[in-house]
């Protein structure tokens, strides 16, 4: 969001955190995205199909809004849900439903993994 010119105050509001925290984070170096990662799984996702029966906007509810149960149901039967979820976790995707998980569920999964690896 910051790379697209979104103000720190707007980012903070979406994340429910203090704008100073966003500014501190943005001052840190940003690693380059890996270019060699295979993202072909995205075209196999049920959500990528025109006739999936769920409005694409439903995958990105507003901050604090309830997730449409049809989104979770579609993800539950999607053949690439694990790749989708893992990609969102690895890339710190903070918005939308990915692999059947919302941002807070993905943050919890990251914390659990760090705890299992003995990393704070």
84 is known to lie in a ligand binding site = yes
* Contact by Cβ (8 Å): 59, 97: yes
52 is known to lie in a ligand binding site = no
d(CA 61, CA 96): 7
For the chain, the DSSP string reads: -GGGT--HHHHHHHHTS-HHHHHHHHHSPPPPPPSS---GGGGGSGGGSTTSSS-GGGGSPPTTPPPPHHHHHHHHT-TTHHHHHHHHHHTT--SS-BTTB-HHHHHHHHHHHHHHHT--
Which residue numbers belong to the known binding site for [4Fe-4S] cluster?
47, 75, 78, 84
Binding-site residues = 47, 75, 78, 84
């Amino acid at each position: 969001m910051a790379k697209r010119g979104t103000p720190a105050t707007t980012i903070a509001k979406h994340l429910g955190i203090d704008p100073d925290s966003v500014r501190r984070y943005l001052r840190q170096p940003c690693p380059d995205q890996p270019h060699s990662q295979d993202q072909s799984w995205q075209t196999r996702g049920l959500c990528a199909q025109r006739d999936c029966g769920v409005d694409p906007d439903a995958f990105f509810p507003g901050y604090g809004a309830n997730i449409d149960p049809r989104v979770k149901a579609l993800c539950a039967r999607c053949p690439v849900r694990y790749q989708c979820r893992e990609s969102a976790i690895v890339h710190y995707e903070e918005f939308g439903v990915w692999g059947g998980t919302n941002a807070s569920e993905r943050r919890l999964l990251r914390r659990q993994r760090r705890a299992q690896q003995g990393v704070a």
